[in-house]
Amino acid sequence: MSEELATRYESVAREKEVDDLGLARENAVMACETWAELMRNTQRASEKARYRAGFRRLVPLAERLTFEHKLLERVSTLHGSYFGLSPRPLPPHSFAHVLGQDLFEDTTIFTVSEDQAALLDGWKRPRDLFPGADETQLMVPIHGTDLVQDVTTDCSVVASLCAIMKASEKRKKSILADMMSPYDYEADRPRLSENGKYVFRMHFNGCCREVIVDDRLPATCNDKRSIMVTDRRNPRLIWPALVEKAYLKVRGGYDFPGSNSGVDLSILTGWIPEQVYLHSEDLDFDQLWRRIKLLFGEGQVMVTLGTGVLSREEEEIAGLGGEHDYVVLDVDTAGGERRFLVKNPWAPATVWKGLGGASASFASLSSPSPGTDAKHLDPGTFWINLQEIAQNFLYMYLNFSPDVLFKAQNRHFEWVLDHTSHATHAHNPQFCVSTTRTSKVWVLLRKHFADGELEIARNRSNTSSLTETSQRLGFISLRVFLAGGKRVEVDENPIHKSPWLDSSHTLARFEAKPSEKYTVVVLQDLLPLPRYTFTVSFYSGQELAIENPPDRMAVTKRLKGSWTPNTAGGNSHSASYFQNPQYTISLSSATPLIVVLECSDLEICVHVDIAWNAGKRAIVLNTRDLVGNSGDYRPGAAMADLPLVEAGKYTIVCSTYDPGQLADFTLKVGAMVEFEMEPIPPEHAGRRVFKTRDLVFHAGERKKRAPVRISRLTKAFVLAAHLGPPSQSGLRVSLMLGQGPDARQLAASSDGEFAWAASGIRTPDIDLDPAAHHPYGVWLYVEVMGEQAAPQHLIVQVLSEMELRVGDWEHVND
């Protein structure tokens, strides 16, 4: 055992973390064991301290890699097939045919659609499909390539294969070399497997995985139709169909529910996908063109396009298929136009008809690309400029080589969707990102495939569009916040928002500065399954530190609550506002404070107020007492973020916008010091509510009174508020002993002054004693300030421990 050995293990663990998680985990564990053994075998304090530091540094890595490896193993089986982690290239003899042995046969059952089943003439090996064909004819595109789809609705896959072949032409080594075995690395081309076994390395469910298929391909009973991808120039070329078969094994069968070429290319090659919404008002087309033009010629980016839902009339006019993917074969600038050579991968090739829906293809309307004869373009291929792409296509899919940003780190995690909201991120996966040097950072979120999603996609009506089917699987997004590396509670002021995509992949790009720490938040909407596993990959030109962000506050507490028929008081303009649930917090010293209110019903708009009120139930909310609030009412959740609150006791009021809205909620409070937090009993707790008869002030009326009859000693107080639209008229409520000039005040609202509050006013709580108040009696007075231009309707309630009665209102002359 040596320190050098431990360091070597650690280096391998960190280096292989992205592309071979199993090997990384093994080396991280061995590094821990080596550091531990070194500690046991030394008596020198300095050495022991150094070895202990190495051990402590590696334990978190080993634990995380062990957890993540188990998670990825758990999602290795899809549709009944096992896909192994981190496959390594197999030696040539693995594909040799031993005399007397049967050819390899994959036991997977590939499902087909009704249309495919009507054409299927069995699964046949290459020698039966193409008798007499040699390896060159089966594996090498001698006459260039022209791949097309027919019966199978996998335009995204075929477009992806076309993009791979085009990018391979521009690179020193074909992309296929990293995708499939057997492969002739010297000749840089696929090899024919003697025993019928092919192994593909594809990137899904968190890592590079092994996909094994045999060479049996779907034959058809009609020579003019095809279930598998074919090459019109090289009709006996089979490796594209083998790649297609392997990919469709991952996605559930030939009755493919649909995807997009950005996702397909990422799975096939591991290249980083970016989905560009071409109709976005914020899209900078000049910048988009520069990014594409620079990297396309170097084979560093593959470009494909997707249309949206189109009517038959729109398809006919434009010459484009709706919900269909196309591949970009070339880009250039001719005649001042930024142009793309686009291919339709569908065999019955239609091409874009150009401006005004002319019958000729755009290839004949524009000057050809240098060195390209427009008259000899393959069927379905046409030139189109960037502006017209933006007008006629919905998405552009860019897949970047990982070489563009060569440093990568992965995090794999599970998300149980028991309580999530768009308004609060308290339960969302989050990551802290920092760097020592300014660097571009790309964050790629990948949702792992699950059998349950395939079932949902297949259970669609015949009238459902592919877009509608895809949207049934929910949406994902990413947010990036400049939050000091701390956890983010609500979706306010992100520095980057990736679009909501009904896709398994989404990308966020931002520039990280060394003086800042960033928080990346994972979002979802309408994901139909109860739990999911994800991988988030961080790409950069510099080393990144990826950590779990801590809460912003050192101490966090949560309480559950509800708005019930008795406590759903509505907003502060409601007469019943103070019936809302209230809580007291006691702060021992000054501290920042965060209060987050999460509602179980995401449609209900909520709000939180924090008032200095000695921790008592708020009965009046004066501006001078209000310490802070959450701003406008927000659907689902609200947050008050107070930079500094002095020591003391405070009252929190949780409200919905409309009275009577019933729901459960969670109140989360965070501070930098220890604090006490508990609910305040409702105002009606232990009290009976006695509503008086309707009280209306007509023109010229300013004071009214009603007798209060008490049979037993009781504590009581009075609430009064305007009904209907909020009124600015001042109010005063008082309980008086007796009437006339000798009457004595027992209690009065607002210290006897006229006051206005949207939610009403109240008197203090007092004892009412029938014996002490005899024979003068107790009278309830209500007064309004100033002349009334229109009738003023009020609600008056007495909350008492014991039975009492309030008589009829009578007008009192001043």
CA–CA distance, 397 with 22 (Å, rounded to integer)? 32
Residues 767 and 636 both lie in one domain: no
pLDDT for 680 beyond 80 = yes
pLDDT for 356 beyond 50 = no
**Closest by CA position to 351, among listed 339, 363, 369, 338:** 363
In a domain, 58, yes or no: yes
Sequence length of the chain is: 814
In a domain, 708, yes or no: yes
CA–CA distance, 601 with 584 (Å, rounded to integer)? 24
Task: Name the pLDDT band for 658 (thresholds 50, 70, 90).
Answer: very high
In this prediction, residue 146 carries a pLDDT of: 94
- Global pTM? 0.83
Residues 342 and 322 both lie in one domain: yes
The string of pLDDT tens digits covering residues 122-131 is 999 999 999 9
In this prediction, residue 423 carries a pLDDT of: 66
Helix residue spans in 193-284 (DSSP H): 239-251, 261-269
Q: Provide the β-strand partners of residue 660.
A: none
Average pLDDT, integer, range 527-547? 95
**Active-site amino acid positions:** 155, 324, 344
CA–CA distance, 529 with 451 (Å, rounded to integer)? 10
Residue 50 to residues 1, 9, 43, 54: CA-CA distances in angstroms? 15, 16, 12, 6
Domain count, the chain: 6
**CATH number, residue 739:** 2.60.120.380
Residue 404: CB atoms within 10 Å: 17
| Identity at 4, one-letter amino acid code | E
Spatial neighbors of 67 by CB under 8 A, at least 6 apart, are none
In a domain, 79, yes or no: no
- 222-225's contacts with Cβ under 8 Å and 24+ in sequence apart are 222/119, 225/119, 225/150, 225/151
Average pLDDT, integer, range 503-530? 95
pLDDT for 730 beyond 50 = yes
Retrieve residue 733's tokens: 């409520």
In a domain, 318, yes or no: yes
Spatial neighbors of 147 by CB under 8 A, at least 6 apart, are 158, 161, 162, 165, 229, 230, 231, 240, 345
Retrieve residue 582's tokens: 């209230």
CA–CA distance, 133 with 139 (Å, rounded to integer)? 10
Average pLDDT, integer, range 195-209? 97
**531 phi and psi, to 5 degrees?**
-150, 150
Instruction: Please report how the helices 3-15 and 45-74 are oriented relative to each other, as an axis angle in degrees rounded to 10.
Output: 30
- Pair type for strands 792-800 and 301-306: unpaired
In this prediction, residue 617 carries a pLDDT of: 86
**CATH number, residue 355:** 3.90.70.10
Strand, coil or helix: what is 368?
A: coil
CA–CA distance, 581 with 597 (Å, rounded to integer)? 12
Start-to-end Cα distance in the chain: 100
In this prediction, residue 88 carries a pLDDT of: 81
**CATH number, residue 7:** 1.20.58
Average pLDDT, integer, range 359-379? 50
CA–CA distance, 254 with 697 (Å, rounded to integer)? 77
Mean pLDDT (the chain, rounded): 91
pLDDT for 12 beyond 90 = yes
pLDDT for 369 beyond 60 = no
Buried b (16+ CB within 10 A) or exposed e, 204-233: bbbbbbbbbbbbbbbbbeeeeebbbbbbee
**Closest by CA position to 769, among listed 741, 806, 808, 801:** 801
**Closest by CA position to 704, among listed 717, 725, 720, 716:** 720
pLDDT for 309 beyond 60 = yes
Strand, coil or helix: what is 376?
A: helix
CA–CA distance, 522 with 507 (Å, rounded to integer)? 11
Residues 526 and 461 both lie in one domain: yes
**Closest by CA position to 499, among listed 280, 259, 284:** 280
* Residue that finishes a domain, picked among 680, 696, 714: 680
CA–CA distance, 255 with 250 (Å, rounded to integer)? 12
In a domain, 82, yes or no: no
Query: Regarding predicted confidence, which is higher, 760 or 496?
Result: 496
SS3 sequence, 433-463? EEECCCEEEEEEEEECCCHHHHHHHHCCCCC
CA–CA distance, 799 with 801 (Å, rounded to integer)? 7
Residues 390 and 484 both lie in one domain: no
The string of pLDDT tens digits covering residues 101-117 is 999 999 999 999 999 99
Prior bond of 499 cis (ω within 30°): no
Lowest mean pLDDT among 364-378, 588-602, 716-730: 364-378
The string of pLDDT tens digits covering residues 568-625 is 999 988 878 888 999 999 999 999 999 999 998 989 999 999 999 888 888 777 778 8
CA–CA distance, 643 with 625 (Å, rounded to integer)? 17
In a domain, 87, yes or no: no
pLDDT for 86 beyond 60 = yes
The DSSP secondary-structure symbol of 175 reads G
pLDDT for 753 beyond 50 = yes
In this prediction, residue 258 carries a pLDDT of: 82
Residues 247 and 286 both lie in one domain: no
In a domain, 84, yes or no: no
The domain in which residue 252 lies consists of 92-269
Question: Strand order in 180-181's β-sheet?
Answer: 180-181, 197-204, 207-214
In this prediction, residue 420 carries a pLDDT of: 57
In this prediction, residue 372 carries a pLDDT of: 46
pLDDT for 367 beyond 60 = no
Retrieve residue 144's tokens: 């260039």
CA–CA distance, 682 with 665 (Å, rounded to integer)? 16
Residues 704 and 785 both lie in one domain: yes
In this prediction, residue 621 carries a pLDDT of: 77
Average pLDDT, integer, range 709-719? 92
Residues 249 and 311 both lie in one domain: no
Task: Name the pLDDT band for 762 (thresholds 50, 70, 90).
Answer: confident
The string of pLDDT tens digits covering residues 616-654 is 888 777 778 899 999 999 998 999 999 999 999 999 999
* DSSP letter string, 89-138: PPPGGGGPPPTTSPPP---------HHHHHHEEEEE-HHHHSTT--HHHH
The string of pLDDT tens digits covering residues 346-355 is 988 677 877 5
Task: Name the pLDDT band for 446 (thresholds 50, 70, 90).
Answer: very high
Residues 645 and 668 both lie in one domain: yes
* Residue that finishes a domain, picked among 244, 269, 294: 269
In a domain, 83, yes or no: no
Task: Calculate the CA 320 to chain-centre distance.
Answer: 32
pLDDT for 234 beyond 70 = yes
CA–CA distance, 433 with 431 (Å, rounded to integer)? 6
The string of pLDDT tens digits covering residues 392-421 is 999 999 999 998 887 899 999 999 987 556
* Residue that finishes a domain, picked among 13, 47, 74: 74
Residues 243 and 292 both lie in one domain: no
Average pLDDT, integer, range 519-524? 96
In this prediction, residue 385 carries a pLDDT of: 95
Residues 543 and 660 both lie in one domain: no
Residues 106 and 213 both lie in one domain: yes
Residues 500 and 646 both lie in one domain: no
Is the CA virtual torsion 307, 311, 312, 317 positive or negative? negative
Residue 80 in contact with residue 252, Cβ under 8 Å? no
